[in-house]
Structure 1
């Protein structure tokens, strides 16, 4: 047994030699390791070892991936394979366009023969002055100072005397010749000369129908300027785009010269109870050709029926740049 376990016995019997360092040196070494690694006497963290050991491998792998990505993109998105020619694009666009079946059987549109209507070209201004008409002196001074007009145009010279006599008139003149003043001056002159002074609560004495909102504002501005010396005569305007409640409130208070578009006036005739035409003395259709072109025939018939039901004696004035068959009828 001693012969078999001789090696083991030698190891056990060998003298133990331990290098015993003093405690002071061991403590100093532990402190040094703590300062070096910022913790207990352990080995440096594994991340730092990995970073230091694998940095060159990462750089090479990024370069390789960039190269492979460029090669793949060039292979997959080559412009030669996927670029369409102009003919192919035009064919695709033609396929997308859809034509209606209404125009397959009649590709040629027939031409409608319409009568050619030409505007009248005439001399606009004349040498006649407004004070020759026998108007109110305050009205003449307003025309000269506020409107800054001294001489009449040709239309005004022919229209104003006829309207002051109380006759109906059908006026044809080119656009911009002063047709608005041609009927506004006689209306203001006749209303301020009435024996019984006009009151606001009487309602409209003159009704002016215009086709558009812009023309309504222009006519209202002109009437306001002419009525500066006659403050008891109140003008008003009704047009699309405004609040109906405010317009109803104005009609309730009273409007003596009413300027309106046909559609909005019909709306108030149907819905507003305060509007009445019992004292109408003037009925003016300004730009009558445009009123008919915009399709206000039905509205005009409703307005005329409402006026004729309450008042039949009035002075009618129709102004137009062109006299078509519809206007003359």
Structure 2
């Protein structure tokens, strides 16, 4: 733990600590994408209160030095190039081009920013010309979601065993939602619309389970349960993405520790307080995804065991 002589430095502690972290970045000790010390780590290293540590991270975010990455934490920031959405010269308009232009808009601004007029402007074509290729905005969104699912590269040959195959499927979908969080709002299981690329995922799932001797309904419900689990966790990615677009502050769990500590000291939550004292919990959404995935598959394993 670092200490300093009282009165030796009139600079507020949070600004001094923020400057020291910036020095680490300038020296190359912390590089773009590296995690910076969490609020709890700052309290231990510099010997300050959690409220001061929280102000350190807030200051670094306000100055654009760091940013919060969902599932990772607070990392050293770097400028990001804006996606290019202009139609290449002399390129013929196609369904694929319209779909990709729509995906680029949705990736940057969510489905709320998507319109046929906006796509036409980005492609430099008349708005009405788009309808010849995608039919309607609703069909366009469906095609965009199908294209997103189509990015999955399934291993050939597939891994051995139903569990390993379902893990592959779930992780491919999870990676897709990271790239395209808006897909969670494009379709839902109670109103499915079959599309060719999405059905590849269904085929992979049911083929993984079909030789276990299960009832056909059980095979399909298992597939839908896995799909729904991944999509359910991915909803958080879309919520965070939407909040960022609206400029809402998004802080990692450790940035809220001062508020949490105040509640835990009330004595109303003794078990939670005890857990907090015994564990430096760092929430990561990817860890949550993997934890839940393994528990879900454990349940599948118990269900299919009588058939073996």
**Which structure is richer in relative contact order (CA contacts within 8 A, separation 6 or more)?**
2
- Smaller-chain TM-score range? under 0.3
After TM superposition, the score normalised by the length of structure 2 is 0.24
- Structure having the larger proportion of residues in strand: 1
Q: Could you tell me the TM-score, scaled by structure 1's length?
A: 0.23
Pick the structure with more helix per residue.
Answer: 2
